[in-house]
């Protein structure tokens, strides 16, 4: 147990940003929009959250600022990809380049600075609760909130009328429009939600996971989040489990080194990305599974005028 608990906590810490980013992208893609700009939105969210939290000393203001900053990028993406019906892949790649460059520019004054926040401030009044108080102190509130996000996304997609409308828009926007669903509005809201969650993921990376800002902090996690949605075949429960699976793979390097396993550190660092490629190749080989799972209108523009 003494060896298992550190591994468990490390996996939770490493998997949490993937939970936020992947579940946000899942909602976006279930509406038929393919947002390849998650990486850039995470980078922008990370640097904005760090700057605001360092300046104000308040973690939650930093998280809120990250949601707003990444939401603005997702709004720009929505205008280009949904309103003007530009190629979604091209616009997403442009958002990644723009967001990464913007984060590097904004973050220059903060390179080398460390963020030190009172852990009890993050937990708030929950740390004083009997029995569960120590859990809120040991596990960061953003981890608990990611579990709540998973429950909310699962319930929304499978048990609500709004979730049914979202899935209908992702499958056949023309039919959804014909029966009165506001397709463009739904796609906008889904994309904004995905961008905001990417911002939270970036905020977690800079304020909790590393407590500092440096270029390359996100290190491709936005791309892994996009791949996770495919890995999960667009199901929230698989997305949730997959995030911790890849989070555990990310931390494998540290535990392998501490155990004295003679594996090159470069190979261990590449393990999450190699695992992503292998899983995607295996899933892509099952054509029937892909046809049944992928939203039929994913990546396809919709013209309400016909």
Going by C-alpha positions, the residue among 33, 18, 64, 21 that lies closest to residue 191 is 33
- For 8, other C-beta atoms within 10 Å of its C-beta total 13
Q: State whether residue 212 is helix, strand or coil.
A: strand
Q: CA-CA distance, 189 to 152, in Å (whole number)?
A: 16
- Under the banding of pLDDT at 50, 70 and 90, the label for residue 137 is low
The token duo for 276 is 């992503």
Q: State whether residue 75 is helix, strand or coil.
A: helix
pLDDT tens digit sequence for 190-234: 999 999 999 999 999 999 999 999 999 999 999 999 999 998 999
Topology given in CATH for the domain delimited by 4-110+136-293 = ABC transporter involved in vitamin B12 uptake, BtuC (1.10.3470)
Least confident of 13-27, 223-237, 256-270: 256-270
Residue 110 is predicted with a pLDDT of 94
Q: CA-CA distance, 78 to 65, in Å (whole number)?
A: 20
pLDDT tens digit sequence for 168-187: 999 999 999 999 999 999 99
Q: Which residues contact 52 (CB under 8 A, 6 or more apart)?
A: 58, 61, 62, 65, 66
Fill in the DSSP letter of residue 294. Answer: S
The token duo for 10 is 């490390």
- Under the banding of pLDDT at 50, 70 and 90, the label for residue 95 is very high
For 114, list phi and psi in degrees, rounded to 5. Answer: -110, 145
Question: Average of pLDDT values for 140-166?
Answer: 96
The whole model's pTM is what? 0.92
- Under the banding of pLDDT at 50, 70 and 90, the label for residue 257 is low
| Cα separation values, 135 from 8, 125, 152, Å | 14, 13, 21
Would you kindly state where each structural domain of the chain is located, as residue ranges? 4-110+136-293
Q: State whether residue 139 is helix, strand or coil.
A: coil
């Amino acid at each position: 147990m003494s060896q298992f608990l550190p591994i468990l906590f490390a996996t939770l810490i490493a998997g949490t940003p993937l939970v936020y980013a992947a579940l946000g992208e899942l909602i976006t893609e279930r509406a038929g929009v393919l947002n390849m700009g998650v990486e850039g939105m995470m980078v922008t969210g990370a640097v904005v959250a760090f700057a605001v939290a360092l300046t104000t000393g308040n973690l939650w203001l930093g998280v809120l600022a990250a949601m707003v900053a990444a939401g603005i990028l997702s709004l720009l993406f929505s205008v280009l990809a949904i309103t003007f019906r530009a190629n979604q892949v091209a616009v997403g790649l442009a958002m990644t380049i723009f967001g990464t460059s913007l984060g590097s520019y904004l973050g220059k004054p903060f390179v080398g600075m460390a963020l030190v926040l009172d852990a009890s401030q993050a937990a708030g009044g929950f740390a004083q609760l009997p029995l569960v108080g120590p859990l809120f102190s040991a596990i960061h509130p953003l981890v608990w909130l990611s579990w709540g996000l998973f429950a909310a996304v699962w319930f929304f997609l499978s048990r609500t009328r709004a979730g049914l409308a979202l899935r209908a828009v992702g499958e056949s926007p023309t039919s959804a429009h014909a029966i009165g669903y506001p397709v463009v509005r739904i796609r906008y809201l889904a994309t904004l939600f995905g961008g905001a969650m990417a911002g939270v993921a970036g905020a977690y990376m800079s304020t909790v996971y590393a407590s500092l800002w440096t270029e390359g902090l996100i290190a491709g996690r936005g791309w892994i989040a996009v791949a996770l949605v495919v890995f999960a075949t667009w199901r929230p429960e698989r997305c949730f489990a997959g995030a911790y699976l890849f989070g555990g793979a990310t931390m494998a390097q540290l535990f392998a080194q501490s155990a004295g396993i003679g594996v090159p550190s470069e190979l261990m660092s590449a393990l999450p990305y190699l695992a992503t490629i292998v899983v995607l190749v295996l899933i892509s080989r099952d054509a029937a599974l892909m046809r049944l799972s992928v939203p039929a209108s994913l990546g396809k523009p919709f013209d309400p005028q016909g």
